[in-house]
A and B are shown apart, each in its own frame.
Chain A
Amino acid sequence: MSAVIAAKVGIRLRTPHSAPDWFDARSELGRGYRHLPDASLYLLAAARDAGLVIQDADRDRWGVAVASETGSCRLHDEIDESVVTGAAHLISPTLAPHFAHNLLASRLAMEYHITGMCLSVHTPVSAGLDALSLASTAIEAGRVSRVVVGATEAPRRDGSERPEGAIVFTLQARDHGDSAGGPVIDVLRPHPTDLAHTLDAVHTGGPLVVVGADRAAADMLTSASEFDVRFVRANGALSTLGPVAQLLIGSRPYGSVVAVSDSAAVVATVRAHNDSRNHPHSTNTQHMEDECLSRR
């Protein structure tokens, strides 16, 4: 997959240290956002954090690619509970369209009038890296020049613990006029049996974060290499895009994130460009560091 550059990063994550009222939509976003699911609000707040500015003339050349596994599922739970208890008349017609999972990405596109493309990706375990990968493919195919890539998650009503919040960053082609200097991201899809060999070739140092349902791939890479392997149990799209964002904003812009699931593997490597003057900026870096450390 062709290399692209992350130019801006925005983050809104609940961390183990967050207060119960850690996210206040009104203060984050202002008026006009009442009838949106939490995952949509997190995504919009992360985009604000990234400081996206899109010129009118460029809107057709920008796209959105958002990953989520449970972002809209809480609304499903609420709608279905209303239906089976005979309270369907209470379902808000304003909130109802958001049962469609793609509305997370569409609402972000609406916020910034992004008209080039809008993709919603939900592949279990690898959705975050898949959004990155498909955004790169779209840029390479000439469909758009830049893509706002994001992941957002909110818990279902079943009480299961999940990372909660959103991450957003922007991608553009390496040869784009104003892109020189930011970290470079490459996405590869080796056959799982070639994973160690592929990482030998592409991993340029720094942490190697392995995301999966179990530790098998991480243990294999630990025994087969000298890499600094860290395991993250797959639990939504933030599991993969979170570590990527951490690499982008961290003091060491080197590392790889690997998603392994269902006999398939995706590898995203992050490495510094020779000139790091345009290093991505986030106003919420500490939250990201806390979140990633807590889940090792």
Chain B
Amino acid sequence: MSCVGTGMSAHRAALANPRSAVASRVDDAYAFVADPLYALAIDGDRAHTTTASALADLAVGEALDDAGFAGRTAAMDTIEVIMASSVADARATELARTSGKPKPSNDFAVTDTVRRRHGLRGRHRYELSNACSGSGYAISLGCDLIAAGRADVVVAGGAESYSRVTAAAFNAMSALSKSGISRPFDRNRDGVVLGEGAAAVVIESAAHARERGAVPYAAVAGSGWSCDAYHSMAPEPTGTQVVRAMREALRRAATDPRDIGCVIPHGTGTPRNDVIESASLAAVFADIHADVPIFSLKAMIGHLAGGSAAASIVVAAMGLRDGGLPGNLPVAEPDPDCAVCVPTEPIDLRGRSVMVNAYAAGGANISVVLGAAG
């Protein structure tokens, strides 16, 4: 779920008719900051009061239903949960602070909420942050547990809700888009459009999926991790570790760069991220980089922070099952310093793989390669 709607169908339709993600001023009476801008996923009575746990609950519910686990109580005993969020349920604490009600005992309630709401009783339960790459790590770790034979089925993803603390910190860092329009790779991009939302996937071994007759969306072929170890906010300017993560993902996936049919980039719309990521893609894809299509998801749904990597992976999986992704929203004025191919025509993914990139403040990088389900 994101600012464009709830559910796979809503997103498939919205991406087919793309519009810019736009942040609006949040009607939080206590948000005395210059620009309390967010692209909210929930409006009406619950606007800006929804927690990451509540958003994650909805995404996980749809993932379990879609994977055929709805009503299969016995199967829930072996489903593991790994969820990520930058600030988890900080919003619940903020609401308690201004209402005078008791504060929650722990902000990190996303994983346990999902477990309780859906009766998931697997032996692995992890809650990560890892900021804007967190849900990529959640999914990658789930794959590692399955590959090691320690888990059969993992539900993994991430969520982020509006938070006054997050809005204030981004204001203090001057990292938010003043225009409120998400414009990755555009010469006039002016920062991040924070978005509420959540995304989750059900992961299992190919053998386990076959055994229960499941029809997979895609295969997670491999992932690469790295850490900038450079700065608390700024990405490392040479992109050395970003490149290493992409190459490691390709190596682990045993995939040649020429087999990548699309990259869903981190592409936040900050001046520095987009230049460094573009240069890093050029380093990895070398002579073919100008022809590798980019699917600029954050232009349409904003930056879901803890949920963003999972959202990209869900869209990649959807594209691989559908055989392609729709065309991008046009980049009004392409930045000459961002030499990437952002096609407005549909992207053909038949017989191809997709790379997803996600990066985080503090430099936790991850790249994931997905291929067609075998």
Contact = CB atoms under 8 A, between A and B. Distances in A.
Tell whether A and B belong to one assembly: yes
Interface of A: 1, 59-60, 63-64, 69, 73, 76, 79-80, 82-86, 88, 91-93, 96-103, 105-107, 109-110, 112-124, 126-127, 130, 134, 137-138, 140-141, 143, 158, 189-191, 262-265
Contacts of B19: none
Nearest to A82: B168
Contacts of B129: 100-102, 120, 122
Contacts of B126: 121, 123, 130, 134
A58 to B, nearest CB: 13
Interface stretch (B254-262, B295-303, B335-343, B358-366): B358-366
B145 A137 contact: yes
Contacts of B241: 115
B106 A124 contact: yes
> Which 5 A/B pairs are nearest by Cβ-Cβ distance?
A106-B362, A96-B172, A118-B227, A101-B129, A189-B123
Nearest to A87: B32
22 contacts: A73-B107, A76-B107, A83-B164, A83-B165, A86-B32, A88-B32, A88-B34, A96-B173, A99-B165, A100-B131, A107-B232, A109-B362, A117-B226, A118-B362, A119-B128, A119-B137, A123-B108, A137-B145, A138-B225, A262-B115, A264-B121, A265-B123
Interface string B296-324: 00000000000000000000000000000
Contacts of A123: 108, 111, 125-127
A110 B34 CA distance: 31
A202 to B, nearest CB: 15
A92 B169 CA distance: 9
Contact of A124 (B98, B127, B145): B127
Contacts of A100: 86-87, 129, 131, 169, 360-362
A76 B32 contact: no
A116 B86 contact: no
A119 B137 CA distance: 8
Nearest to B83: A123
B229 A59 contact: yes
B131 A262 contact: no
Given A96-B169, A115-B228, A123-B126, A88 B33 contact: yes
B94 interface: yes
Contact of A106 (B30, B34, B168, B363): B363
Interface string B114-130: 01100001111111111
A120 B130 contact: yes
Given A88-B171, A96-B172, A103-B232, A79 B125 contact: no
Given A106-B363, A191-B123, A76 B87 contact: yes
B362 A107 contact: yes
Contact of B173 (A63, A93, A105): A93
B144 A83 contact: no
Contact of A101 (B87, B109, B141, B145): B87
B369 to A, nearest CB: 15
B215 interface: no
B164 to A, nearest CB: 6
Contacts of A113: 229
A191 B123 CA distance: 6
B232 A83 contact: no
B348 interface: no
B362 A88 contact: no
B191 interface: no
Q: Which of A80, A102, A191 has the most CB of B within 10 A?
A: A102
Contacts of B362: 97, 100, 102-103, 105-107, 109-110, 118
Given A79-B165, A88-B168, A97 B361 contact: yes
Interface string B157-197: 00000001110110111100000000000000000000000
Contacts of B1: none
Contacts of A105: 362, 364
Contacts of B121: 263-264
B67 interface: no
A122 B125 contact: no
Nearest to B115: A262
B169 A99 contact: yes
B283 interface: no
Given A88-B32, A118-B362, A80 B226 contact: no
A113 B240 CA distance: 13
A137 B144 contact: yes
Contacts of A189: 123-124, 150
Nearest to B116: A262
Contacts of B141: 134, 137
Contacts of B49: none
Contacts of A117: 225-227, 364
A93 B172 contact: yes
Contacts of A83: 30-33, 164-165, 168
A240 to B, nearest CB: 14
Interface string B71-83: 0000000000000
Interface in B59-96: 86-88, 90, 93-94
